[in-house]
C-alpha cells in the first residue's frame, strides 16, 4: 500500500468508522486464503463490494482471466478516486455507489450475472433491513453456480448467508488485524428470493 492510499484509508475510517470497519487493510495471508478456493477459470464477472484501498482488488486482478471484468462498488469517494488513480487495468470498473444497487450497476455496465461476489462490508454494523436487502440483491445478481465470498470481523452475516444460500463453508484467519471469519456461500435459495418479492 502506498503512503497516499494509507492516508485515504485512515481518513475514510475516521469519517465513517461504522461503514469502513477497519483502518488496517487486509493481510496478504488473509487475501490469499479468501481468494485461493475460487475457481478463477470460471469467473467472467467478479463484483467486489467495498474495495477500499484495493487490497483484494489487485490480487483478484492477478488471478482473473484476461477477458474477465471486475466491477468494484464503493461508497467512499476517497477510496473510489484513489483506486481509479492507482489502477489502469482495463478489466477493472470502479463505481461509486452502494452494494444494495448491485443489479442496477451490473445492468448499467452491460454485464449479466456475476460469477462471484467478494465482500468485506461490515454486516454487523449495517441496519438489519439494509443487510438483508444487500444479501437478497447479491443472490439475485449471482449466476446459478456463483459464489459469495465474505471476510468478516463478526458472525452477523452467517444467518443471512444461511437464509439465501444452500451451501456454506467457513474458516477463520488469525493473521489479520482484526482476525476474520471467512465464508464461501453457493447455491442460492430461490425460495428466499421469491419470498422477498
Ligand atoms: C472493511 S472495509 C474493506 C476494505 C478493503 N477491502 C480491505 O480489505 O482493505 C469495508 C469497505 O466497504 C465500503 N462500504 C461500506 N458500506 C458499503 C456499501 N453499502 N456499498 C459499498 N461499499 C461499502 C467502505 O467504504 C469500505 O471501503
pLDDT digits (tens, 9 = 90+) for 128-156: 999 999 999 999 999 999 999 999 999 99
Q: What pLDDT is attached to residue 189?
A: 85
Give me the helix-helix angle, 77-86 and 3-15, nearest 10°. 160
The rounded Å distance from CA 103 to ligand 1 centre is 18
CB 165 within 8 A of CB 186: yes
Residue 138 in contact with ligand 1 by CB distance below 6 A: no
Residue 54 in contact with ligand 1 by CB distance below 6 A: no
H/E stretch holding 82: helix 77-86
> Given the DSSP bridges, would you call strands 180-188 and 165-173 parallel, antiparallel or unpaired?
antiparallel
- Residue closest by Cα to atom 5 of ligand 1: 52
C-alpha 4: how far from chain center? 22
The rounded Å distance from CA 14 to ligand 1 centre is 14
* Adjacency order of strands within the sheet including 45-49: 92-96, 69-74, 45-49, 114-119, 142-152, 180-188, 165-173
Question: Looking at domain 3-195, does it have CATH number 3.40.50.150?
Answer: yes
Check pLDDT > 90 for residue 18.
no
Residue 146 in contact with ligand 1 by CB distance below 6 A: no
Query: Would you mind telling me the total number of residues written for the chain in this entry?
Result: 197
The rounded Å distance from CA 169 to ligand 1 centre is 22
Phi, psi for residue 64 in degrees, rounded to 5: -75, 155
Pull the grid cell for residue 65.
Answer: 482471466
Question: Where do the domains of the chain lie?
Answer: 3-195
Check pLDDT > 70 for residue 56.
yes
Of the candidates 31, 8, 30, 29, the residue with the CA atom closest to the CA atom of residue 20: 8
Of the candidates 130, 123, 127, the residue with the CA atom closest to the CA atom of residue 100: 130
pTM to 2 decimal places: 0.92
| Per-residue model confidence as pLDDT tens digits over 26-52 | 999 999 999 999 999 999 999 999 999
Q: Give me the residues paired with residue 74 across strands.
A: 96
| Per-residue model confidence as pLDDT tens digits over 88-134 | 999 999 999 999 999 999 999 999 999 999 999 999 999 999 999 99
Amino acid at each position: 500500500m502506498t503512503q497516499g492510499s494509507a492516508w485515504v484509508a485512515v481518513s475514510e475510517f475516521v469519517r465513517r468508522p461504522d461503514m469502513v470497519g477497519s483502518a488496517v487493510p487486509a493481510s496478504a495471508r488473509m487475501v490469499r486464503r479468501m481468494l485461493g478456493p475460487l475457481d478463477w477459470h470460471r469467473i467472467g464477472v467478479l463484483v467486489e463490494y467495498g474495495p477500499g484501498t484495493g487490497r483484494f482488488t489487485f490480487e483478484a486482478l492477478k488471478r482473473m482471466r484476461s477477458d474477465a471484468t471486475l466491477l468494484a462498488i464503493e461508497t467512499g469517494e476517497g477510496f473510489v478516486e484513489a483506486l481509479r488513480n492507482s489502477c489502469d487495468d482495463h478489466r477493472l470498473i470502479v463505481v461509486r455507489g452502494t452494494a444494495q444497487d448491485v443489479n442496477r450497476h451490473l445492468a448499467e455496465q452491460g454485464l449479466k450475472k456475476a460469477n462471484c461476489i467478494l465482500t468485506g462490508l461490515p454486516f454487523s454494523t449495517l441496519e438489519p433491513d439494509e443487510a438483508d436487502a444487500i444479501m437478497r440483491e447479491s443472490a439475485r445478481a449471482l449466476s446459478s453456480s456463483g459464489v459469495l465470498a465474505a471476510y468478516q470481523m463478526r458472525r452477523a452475516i452467517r444467518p443471512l448467508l444461511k437464509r439465501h444460500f444452500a451451501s456454506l463453508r467457513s474458516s477463520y484467519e488469525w493473521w489479520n488485524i482484526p482476525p476474520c471469519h471467512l465464508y464461501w456461500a453457493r447455491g442460492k435459495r430461490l425460495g428466499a428470493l421469491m419470498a422477498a418479492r
